[in-house]
Copies of this chain bind each other. A is one copy, B any other.
Amino acid sequence: MSGFEEHPLYNIMHPQSIAFWGASNNPMAMGSVQLGSLLAMGFPGPVYPIHPTEKEVLGLPAYARVSDVPGPVGLAVLVIPTKVVPEILEDCGKAGISAAIIVSAGFAEIGSDGRLLQQQIVEIARRYGIRFLGPNCIGAVNPRHKLNTTFYPYESGPGFIGMVSQSGSFVTQVFVHLKRFGLGFSQGLSVGNEAVTDITDCLEYLGNCPSTKVIGLYVEGIRRGREFARIAREVSRKKPIVAYYVGGSSAGKQAGLSHTGAMAGPDELYNGIFAQSGVIRAGSIEELFDFCWVLGSQPLPRGNRIAVFTNSGGPGAAAADAAERSGLRLASFSDDTKRALRDLLPHTASLANPVDMTFARNHQDYFDAMPRILLQDDGVDCVFMYFLMAHKRVIDSVIRAMMGDSADPEEVARQYVSAQAQVVSSLGREYGKPLVGGSFYDRSESFICELQDRGLPILPSPERAVRALGALYKYSVFRLGCSGP
């Protein structure tokens, strides 16, 4: 496996300048929207729109041909009608451009005519030494490099999830999904028809990307199975890979074929490939990102014994049920743990696992002393914690009672919430064990927001949090060869 900066995809994802075909002053045109995304992202290098007649496109000086461009071009982005792609790609080659993203569709995915045309552009690319993504792809995003050639504005910060997708939507339309959890991509690549760059190439590339902590794959069909397994096995020894594969059903296979022309195979075959190469399979796009979040942020558990910690019986039971169905089992606590819990819990609470604190007067215990007791227990490999919100009304009243009417409740609450978030979000790291939260509350609650921003995954339900811990355990079995005591 070559180094990161030496990998052929590095140039596509880190251009110093971009020539852009297909943008115009018609804001409805797909190319205009995509160039708009790039400009909105604040790409710092020169961007050269290429347009046959316009002198200016979206406020930038436009050029009739790439040979007119006044400086070197690091990347060509093509959002143009199918039939002119070969000619323009030839122009790129002549201009010495070695990296391209071909967004244009109408190639192998539409049948035999398209396949011929695709073969033609592959030959042109070979002749000139051009490496490209696509055709029939939505582009790529590299937030740290301020690169976004896709159809959608990228509004999250740079993140740790590297995404490779046979669907452009699952790179771009999920921007809003990720943002809802404070997540972001390290890099995202839409591979389209994979004419010269396939999932396996991207996997190899992201395997060496230092800011990618986990790799998410959306798969309709893998073209080079043996090579994929070899590269995936190498990569997953270093960082987790999560795959969402939709071609295992006959309906999914049919849909994928007409989408990117990829050949799917039965679930058993793909499960075999994934299992031997340490790839964790997800069952939906939401689950793909849930798993990436937890696998990319948490240490590996040494076994499958989970402690479920709640102040509500229902979420505790739901988490316990989901744990068993995800390959985890409820930890049995040591006598020390039980003694320590008994000192802190009210008489109505449960000392067994799930630990149900019921109505707790002391929030400090819930967010500090109690999870600490569980993390300390040698019989506990990972902890799920349920996050319930205190009402603003209650918090305000408490603050007034403690501080008098002179206090600024907003500011006191902010400091209090922040201090609590700091404590609880560092516990997992402190004990070197996975700690994952679940809550029906979202980032509109400052506590949830701050916990997530401090690196503690808070998933939107107990079940989703626990299933992600189950996936993390599966990955740890591959990585550590451990199977629990």
Contact = CB atoms under 8 A, between A and B. Distances in A.
Interface of A: 26-28, 30, 33, 36, 40, 82, 105-106, 109-110, 152-153, 165-170, 173-174, 176-177, 180, 218, 220, 244, 246-252, 254-256, 258-260, 283-286, 308, 312-325, 329-330, 347-348, 350, 352, 354, 356, 358-359, 361, 388, 391, 393-394, 397-398, 401, 440-442, 460-464
Contact of A165 (B260, B314, B321): B314
Given A252-B320, A320-B246, A463 B284 contact: yes
A259 B442 CA distance: 26
Residue among A106, A168, A258 facing the most chain B CB atoms (10 A cut-off): A258
Contacts of A394: 27-28, 33, 36
Contact of A259 (B153, B356, B391): B356
Contacts of A246: 317-318, 320-321
A28 B394 CA distance: 6
A461 B284 contact: yes
Nearest to A361: B28
Contacts of A33: 391, 393-394
A463 B322 CA distance: 19
A284 B259 CA distance: 31
Contacts of A165: 314
Given A329-B251, A398-B27, A442-B180, A286 B464 contact: yes
Given A28-B398, A286-B461, 14 more contacts: A33-B393, A169-B314, A169-B315, A169-B388, A170-B314, A170-B318, A247-B317, A249-B324, A252-B317, A255-B320, A255-B330, A255-B354, A259-B356, A285-B463
Given A246-B318, A320-B249, A320-B255, A359 B30 contact: yes
Nearest to A26: B401
Residue among A246, A313, A316 facing the most chain B CB atoms (10 A cut-off): A313
A398 B325 CA distance: 50
A220 B354 CA distance: 14
A319 B250 CA distance: 12
Contacts of A176: 440-442
Nearest to A252: B321
Contacts of A249: 320-321, 324-325
A70 to B, nearest CB: 28
Contacts of A321: 246-249, 251-252, 255
A285 B318 contact: yes
27 contacts: A27-B393, A27-B398, A28-B361, A33-B391, A36-B393, A109-B348, A110-B348, A153-B393, A166-B314, A168-B312, A169-B314, A173-B388, A177-B460, A249-B321, A251-B324, A251-B330, A255-B308, A255-B319, A255-B320, A255-B330, A256-B317, A259-B350, A283-B463, A284-B318, A284-B322, A285-B463, A286-B463
A285 B439 CA distance: 12
A105 B357 CA distance: 12
Nearest to A313: B259
A167 B348 CA distance: 15
Contacts of A313: 167-169, 255-256, 258-260
B105 A358 contact: yes
A255 B308 CA distance: 10
Residue among A26, A461, A464 facing the most chain B CB atoms (10 A cut-off): A461
B391 A153 contact: yes
Contact of A177 (B109, B252, B330, B440): B440
Given A255-B308, A394-B28, A394-B33, A462 B168 contact: no
Contact of A28 (B252, B320, B397): B397
A249 B356 CA distance: 19
A255 to B, nearest CB: 4
Residue among A27, A106, A330 facing the most chain B CB atoms (10 A cut-off): A27
Contacts of A82: 348
B348 A254 contact: no
Contact of A284 (B30, B168, B464): B464
Contacts of A358: 105
Contacts of A106: 347-348
Contacts of A393: 27, 33, 36, 40, 153
Q: What are the nearest 3 A-B pairs in CB distance?
A: A167-B314, A252-B321, A27-B397
B27 A401 contact: yes
A221 B126 CA distance: 65
A256 to B, nearest CB: 5
A350 B256 CA distance: 11
